[in-house]
Structures are given as structure tokens and as C-alpha cells.
Amino acid sequence: MPEYKAPLRDMQFVMHEVLDSEALYQSLPGYEDATADLMNAIVDEGAKFAENVLSPLNHSGDEEGCKWSDGEVKTPEGFAAAYQQYVENGWPALPADPNYGGQGMPAFLGSVVSEMIGTANWSWGMYPGLSHGAVNTLEAHGDEEQKQKYLTRLIEGTWTGTMCLTESHCGSDLGLLRTKAEPQADGSYAISGTKIFISAGEHDMAENIVHIVLARLPDAPEGTKGISLFIVPKFNVNADGSLGERNAVHCDSIEKKMGIKASATCVMSFDNAKGYLIGPPNKGLACMFTFMNTARIGTAIQGLAHGELSYQGALAYAKDRLSMRSLSGPKNENGPADPIIVHADVRRMLLTQKALAEGSRAFIYFLAQQGDIVHAADGDRAKKADDLLALLTPIAKAFITETGFESANHGVQVFGGHGFISEWGMEQIVRDARISMLYEGTTGIQALDLIGRKVLGSGGQLLLGFTSLIEEFCGANTDEAIAPLVETLGKYKDEWLELSMKIGEAAMKNPDEAGAAAVDYLMYSGYVTLAYFWARMAAVAQAKIAAAEGDTSFYEAKLMTAQFYFDRLLPRTAAHKQALLSGADNLMQLPEAMFAF
Ligand SMILES: Cc1cc2nc3c(=O)[nH]c(=O)nc-3n(C[C@H](O)[C@H](O)[C@H](O)COP(=O)(O)OP(=O)(O)OC[C@H]3O[C@@H](n4cnc5c(N)ncnc54)[C@H](O)[C@@H]3O)c2cc1C
């Protein structure tokens, strides 16, 4: 059973040595309290909570699952008590607005803590995770009364939140949704319809649940332009903030599913439930988009989380499990066989996991910082960060979850047949990881967003914003020891721009070309983006080795892992390049009637 140990050394390396977080937050108004010491102290506490409270509930939660009875949902043993502790320790308030009870720490720090919570127990982390979405929506679009009534309680953690978007006939295409909102004389709305797949829609961990619901007003235009956003509380809330009567929103059932079994996935029926409009009428989807980036980075963290946990399990097993001898002669001469970590193929899998997890960590932390810059800075600085977020978020969401799932599979493989057996916990990681490529926009939908809205839609400007960072890095890093990495990165940067132009030209003649190239383009972009972060980490490691301050083994391992990434993972781009350049015909020519005979 992989027991989670927070990789604090690596986390601190990225936070401080690569991303220089203290200097960043000292330069952002409102975040001056976020010193390195304070951030480290918070991360240390988060690690203890994740390791000691949440990790022991991960496997038992999977085995027990959630139970539905008569509209109520019981979460697995220990989940509610852990949530109580989470609230008592003030974790829900960490990155929230101080005007409503939050601690005003950077959202970046919230992401670092989410990584630890999610790696220890992703299912448990879904409950507070969904609340973050509700908090962000209300912070950005709620009126003062709504903030006092709902936001304060969500930030306190005594209530939790949901995001009710999906209906049985539509998930990706929310323009088709049918849930209705009828205006009432008292200024509220009567919400009716059925939402499916609602995470944390019902549970026994908090006294009230605040549903954030997408619905249509009676005169709303068709499609995405006619969607509005509503608050629908499980219990109505009296003027003094106390709980009133039960609202007409109920959990009809929960789904039986492949993974994240301890996270309740609910069918929610709204039967003229009392709701309150958030933001302007018919602008619901636009309002949702303001926090969509955060939610998508939250799901990218899931890819990192499962990759990291699987790596921790696989590494421990590979050092322990004996099988045959190393091809270059015994390494464990006094034992009957060598541990499997001596074998090149096992190392291939472990290093793939390590390179993906550490690279993804740097990528995600960087992205989370851009969110704080958008929030706290203004002018050109905020605009640049916003542009980077817009471009990189779909890449992070899809690429890190796809490669996180790959990593989880490697973990099973390292365990051999035991990986397939439940008691080791490795197969659970694969099952839990699978959903990350589906919700919050599938990989296919992220890829369309990247190539369509972000790259071609901006006339290449968003991509140029990021490639100029790569160019700047390459120009500034001339140390011979990392020259091969820098040179390779520079070539990829040029090729990425060329490929983007080619897809743009092809799509002008035939729009199907963009869709046909999309996922390969996104994966290509993901590998190049991770190469940038690996090159940055290698540059820091090389500088530390050159300065020879004490034990340099951590930095040497970084350099060797960077080399592995550039030699063995980055070349996967060649296959993606060839596929995306092959055009749309090989996908579109087969008539629908000829798919099967
Ligand atoms: C465990 C779980 C938890 C969830 N939690 C929530 C939640 O809390 N709140 C919520 O609102 N929803 C939630 N969801 C729903 C989830 O977000 C949707 O399932 C997801 O967005 C996909 O929508 P769909 O299932 O309708 O698939 P569809 O939209 O029907 O997609 C089917 C396939 O078609 C592809 N596709 C669709 N359109 C296009 C296109 N234009 N171009 C190319 N490919 C396309 C998709 O990529 C996918 O492969 C959850 C789902 C699950 C399973």
C-alpha cells in the first residue's frame, strides 16, 4: 500500500530555488505576508495532515465507497471526522478573501497544499475542492448580500459547495442544457431540472451545501448565450444567517463507478428549488469561465497527484523486490537475486514517472503563480500573466492528466502481477486517475480550446507570449554543461511555432484540419512546455553544483533526470508531429456507414 510522504525537498526546490516565490510575493500588493518561512511552515503542516490523517483513509475509502439511502449520502468511515479537523485547522480559508474570513494567502500556496491533499487521498480532496469552485465564483460574481450569507460560510468550511453544470444529454456542450429558472415575485427563482454527475452533491460532512447551478431563464436565447448562474442552497438560509427549511433539491442516487469511489457522484433533482441569480442574466457561462482556469489547474493537479503516489509506491517496491540478476553482473551478491531497480526496463518506468511528476510540479506551480499575478498586479504585468494562463491551462489540464494516467499504469507494471491485486493499492491509483482526463473538459475539448481559441484565435499572440519566455531563457543560459538542453529547447520552440502556422494555414482551407490536429498538437505542446521547465530546473541545479555548497546529490539527480527527459520523453514529439501533419483526410474519409460491416 503506497503510504504518502510529501516530497518536501522537491516542492521547496520548485517553490524557492526555481520560482523564487518569496521575491514574487513581496512584489505583489496584498501578498507581502507570504514569506518563504511562512510558506514553508504552512506546507509542513499541510504535509502532516495529508500524511497522517488523509493517506490512511485512501484505501479504506475506496473499499467502502459512499452509500446512498433515502436521499442521504454516507461518506466512508473517517471522512467526516477528517473534514472536521480540516475546518478546525482553518485550511478552507487559506487562499480566500480576508474581507470574508479568508487568510489572503496566495492561491499558489493553496495549490501546493491541494497537491498534498490530493496525492494522499484524491476522493476526500474532492469535497473541499468543489467548494473552491463555489468560493471563486462568489468572490468574483456574488453581490454583497450573497457574499455575507454564503461565501463566509464556505470560506469557514462549515458549508461546502458544488458545481452543477452537466445534464444527462450534455456535458461538453453546455449550450444544450435545459434546467429552467422561473423568476418569482420575491426576487428569487424557481429552479427545475435534473443534473447528473454532481461531485459532492450530497454528503454528511458539512451542515449545508451551496449548489452553483447553470440554468435558463424563460426568455433566454438558445445555446451558450442563454445560460445564467444561480445559487441553490440545500437548506434555505434565514436573514440572520441561520439555517431555514429544506430546499427542494435532492440527491436521487449516486453513481457506481470505476474510481474515486469515496467521492459521491450525485444525480441531483431540482423541483422548483429556491435559487438566486449570480451575476447578470444570460452571462452564466462567462461567469463560470472566470474560475474555469483555477478548476482546470485543480484537475491538472490530479494528474500530478496520481503520478507522484504511483511513483512513491513503485520506487519502494523496486528497491525491495528481488528478481534475476543485473545484466552487467550481480549488484546484491549476498542475496539470491538483485532488486528489480537494477534492471534497465524498470528504471525506464521509474524515471518516466519521476520526470513527469517533477516536471509537472514545476509547470503547475508556475501556472498557479500566474493566477496570483493576474489577481494582484495590474497593467502589462497582469495582462502577460493572464495570457500565459490562457495558453497554458488547457495544456496543463490535458497533458498532465494524460501523462499522470500513463505514470499510474507504469506503477502497476513495476509491481508485476501484484500491481493488479487490490491490497497493494496500485490498481486503485489507475482507476482513480482515469476520470481526470474526462471531467473539467475532456482531453479532446482542451485540445480544441488550445488550437482553436487560444493559438489560432489569438493570431498566434498567446503562443508568442510563451515562446518569448523560452527564447529569453535560452539566451540567458549559456553554461556549457546545460548547452545541449538549451539548444534542443530552442529548436523545439521554433518548430512549435512553425507547426502552429501550418495547422492555421491548413485550417483556413478546411476547418476539419484543426480538429484533426488538435490532440496531437496539445501533446506536442505539453512535451515542449515540460522541456522548458526541465531546462529551468537543470539550470538551477547546475548553478548550485558549480557553487558546490555541501551535498549536491539532489541537484545531480535533477540534471540526470533532465537528461532522461530530453533523451527519452521529449522525442515522443516526433510521432505527434508526424500524426498532426498527416492531415484530416485519413480521419474523415471513411464514411460513417463503413466503420463496421
Ligand atoms: C466522476 C465524475 C464527476 C463529475 N463531476 C462533475 C461535477 O461536479 N459537476 C458537473 O457539472 N459535471 C461533473 N462531471 C461531468 C463531466 O464534466 C462530463 O462528463 C464531461 O464534461 C464530459 O461530458 P459528457 O460526459 O457529456 O461527454 P460528451 O460531451 O458527450 O463527450 C463524449 C465524447 O465526445 C467528445 N466530444 C464532444 N464534443 C466534441 C467536439 N466538439 N469535438 C471533439 N470531440 C468532442 C468528448 O471529448 C468525449 O470524448 C463529472 C463526471 C464524472 C464521471
**Cα–Cα distance for residue pair 35/163, rounded to 1 Å:** 33
- The amino acid present at 285, given as its one-letter code, is L
Q: How far is the CA of 166 from the centre of ligand 1 (A)?
A: 8
Residue whose CA is at the smallest distance from ligand 1 atom 4: 197
Q: Per-residue DSSP letters for 386-407?
A: HHHHHHHHHHHHHHHHHHHHHH
**Cα–Cα distance for residue pair 570/439, rounded to 1 Å:** 27
Q: Catalytic residue at 32?
A: no
146 CB less than 6 Å from ligand 1? no
Query: The dihedral of CA 187, 192, 195, 201: what is its sign?
Result: positive
> What are the average pLDDT values for consecutive 10-residue runs of the chain, which has 597 residues?
93 98 97 97 98 98 98 98 98 96 97 98 97 93 97 98 97 96 98 98 98 97 96 97 97 98 98 97 88 86 98 98 97 97 98 98 98 96 97 98 98 98 97 98 98 97 98 96 97 98 97 98 99 98 90 97 98 98 98 98
Backbone angles phi, psi at 441, to 5 degrees: 90, 115
Catalytic residue from among 440, 495, 498, 592: 440
Name the CATH superfamily for 288-442: Butyryl-CoA Dehydrogenase, subunit A, domain 3 (1.20.140.10)
Q: How far is the CA of 334 from the centre of ligand 1 (A)?
A: 54
- The pLDDT of residue 290: 66
Q: How far is the CA of 35 from the centre of ligand 1 (A)?
A: 40
- For residue 105, the SS3 value is coil
Those residues with Cβ within 8 angstroms of residue 595's Cβ, 6 or more apart along the chain or in another chain: none
34 CB less than 6 Å from ligand 1? no
- What is the domain partition of the chain in residue ranges? 288-442, 448-589
Those residues with Cβ within 8 angstroms of residue 85's Cβ, 6 or more apart along the chain or in another chain: 49, 53
**Cα–Cα distance for residue pair 198/194, rounded to 1 Å:** 10
Give CA 158 to chain center in angstroms.
24
- The pLDDT of residue 244: 97
- The pLDDT of residue 545: 96
Strands 189-199 and 208-215: unpaired
163 CB less than 6 Å from ligand 1? yes
* Residue reference for cell 522525442: 571
Q: How far is the CA of 439 from the centre of ligand 1 (A)?
A: 6
C-alpha cell at 117: 491533499
